[in-house]
Amino acid sequence: MIQNSPFKPYRWLANRHLQTLWPSQFRQITQLAFQRHAIPTPDQDIVYLDCVGKSPFTNNSENLTSKDKTNSPLVLMLHGLTGSSESKYIIGLQHAFARMGWRSITLNFRGCLEHPNYKAHSYHSGHTEDLQTIYLLIREAEPDTALAALGFSLGGNVLLKWLGQQEKPPSLFAAAAVSVPFQLDICADTLDQGFSKFYRAHLIRELKNSFELKKAYLLEQGLQEEYQRIKQLPDVSNMTSFWEFDHHITAALNNFDSVHHYYQVSSSRQYLKHIKVPTLIIQAADDPFICPTAIPTNQDLSTYTTLELSEHGGHVGFIGGTHPKVNSYWLDQRLAAFFSKLWQESKKDRHRK
């Protein structure tokens, strides 16, 4: 179902672009202590996981009391395009979950941390394979832990697509996605218009820089086969739009026929009706990345899925407050409350059984 969001921005931050830019430019927040794990993928590549709290991938059971052996809830988080575990919105939620006594793990998509990945391809808006790999590893390590998942922007699209692809509901008590590009072609068009070109220019520049770094890294590491896959692609220096980059680079490296094929297969909107995990989607109508026509309708949603739509909020913004110097990062509060509520409900359901 679709319902109105209770979010209200502070009046001087109601503008969609201020909401979008403020957190990344002005939010002051320190990163919590974490453990980093390098996880090999089935295709001989690598991703990095940053774990806040007791990690499922570290065996400390010998030194734990019986009380400590009862694992606290764990939230798996997915960042947005060109983001990482160092993104402010990720760190904000790490703090929010830590205050609840919960743990969190951030999946850094391929090539988003430490160094470029080992393959010519990396990650994209529909790449669910690494999420599946990490989910199974967590469940193997901690089969009974209360587990939830949370995605932002591109990570939200990946999460929703993955949820909708599952024939059997994954063992999650809840999921949430924020500021999702539900239809990638419409999003690409939106970013070609007005001030949204500013975000497009920034993201494309980051993608091109990563592409060139990857090319140099593969050559340096002697990964000739992967290097040749990249070398034969067109020069990216003059590419300015997602349509160009995704056609010549993303689609070509990930075995899509074209950018149209990539956008069609990878857009999450078509998968929403198949989701069978309690899922909250938080979206702003004024998101400068998303045209309102891309926002799902009730007909697109499964009975497990709630779309909470607000008039304001920008793209992964949602900043409220009562004073210019005291801003509230509402997403931290809303998502913590949502997951806490669903966890309590799941515990009651288990007790009834």
Residue 210, domain member (yes or no): no
Q: Rounded to whole angstroms, how far apart are CA atoms 251 and 5?
A: 36
Is 195 part of a structural domain of the chain?
no
- Which tokens in the block code for residue 28? 């002051």
Asked, for residue 20, whether it belongs to a domain, the answer is: yes
* 157 neighbors 265 (Cβ within 8 angstroms): no
Average of per-residue pLDDT across 236-265: 97
Residue 175 included in any domain: yes
CATH number of the CATH domain containing 291: 3.40.50.1820
Q: How far is CA 68 from the centre of its chain?
A: 30
Q: Which long-range contacts (CB under 8 A, 24 or more apart) does 257-263 make?
A: 260/185, 262/124, 262/126, 262/184, 263/183, 263/184, 263/185, 263/188
Alpha helices per DSSP H over 29-183: 88-99, 129-141, 154-165
Residue 64 has pLDDT above 50, yes or no: no
Higher pLDDT, 99 or 68: 99
332 found inside a domain = yes
162 lies in some domain: yes
pLDDT range class, residue 186, cuts 50, 70, 90: very high
Range of the domain at 167: 2-59+70-181+269-347
- What is the structure's pLDDT at 353? 56
Question: pLDDT at position 326, please?
Answer: 57
Is 46 part of a structural domain of the chain?
Answer: yes
Picking from 187, 228, 189, 200, the residue whose alpha carbon sits closest to that of residue 82 is 200
pLDDT in tens, 299-342: 999 999 999 999 999 999 999 865 555 568 999 999 999 999 99
d(CA 149, CA 279): 9
Q: What mean pLDDT is predicted for residues 8-35?
A: 92
Percent of the chain topping pLDDT 70: 94
Residue 66 has pLDDT above 80, yes or no: no
Active-site amino acid positions: 153, 287, 315
* pLDDT given for residue 109 in this prediction: 98
Residue 253 lies in a domain: no
Count up the domains in the chain and report the number. 1
Distance CA(243)–CA(130), nearest Å, equals 24
